[in-house]
């Protein structure tokens, strides 16, 4: 399956994802600080979408006091990657509704 075909299979609207914090890159200019999320999966199906991608270290990410290996859930839009910031041919834009995922608090609903 080519990269173009896989882009058509994925949802086109804002969707929920889960990823693991790989590293946090602090820069003397806060606007250039970044966070690396790895093993980003589509939350609905659990399908791996992107191996790793850099995001800006927004205020929400900063206030969460994240450590390496923490799981993070967020909503984002899927776009073709023309800038090369993702490990795949697609990238995630505008992460919102960012929360730390805690597997101990997850309960079955039935």
Q: Read off the pLDDT band of 3 (50, 70, 90).
A: very low
- Is 1 a residue whose pLDDT tops 80? no
CATH architecture for residues 3-102: Beta Barrel (2.40)
| 86 DSSP assignment | B
Q: State residue 44's pLDDT score.
A: 87
Q: Domain boundaries in the chain?
A: 3-102
Q: What is the pLDDT of residues 20-76, one digit of tens each?
A: 999 888 888 878 888 999 999 998 888 888 899 999 988 888 888 888 999 999 999
Cα torsion angle, 54, 38, 98, 80, sign: positive
- Asked whether the beta carbons of 24 and 66 are under 8 A apart, the reply is yes
């Amino acid at each position: 399956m080519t990269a173009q075909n896989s882009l058509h299979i994925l949802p086109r609207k804002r969707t929920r994802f889960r990823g693991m914090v790989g590293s946090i890159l602090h820069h003397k200019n806060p606007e250039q600080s970044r966070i690396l999320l790895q093993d980003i999966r589509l939350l609905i199906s659990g399908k791996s979408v992107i191996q790793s991608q850099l995001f800006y270290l927004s205020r929400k990410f900063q206030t969460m006091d994240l450590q390496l290996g923490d799981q993070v859930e967020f909503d984002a839009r899927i776009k073709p990657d023309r800038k090369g910031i993702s490990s795949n041919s697609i990238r995630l834009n505008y992460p919102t509704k960012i929360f730390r995922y805690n597997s101990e608090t997850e309960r079955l609903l039935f």
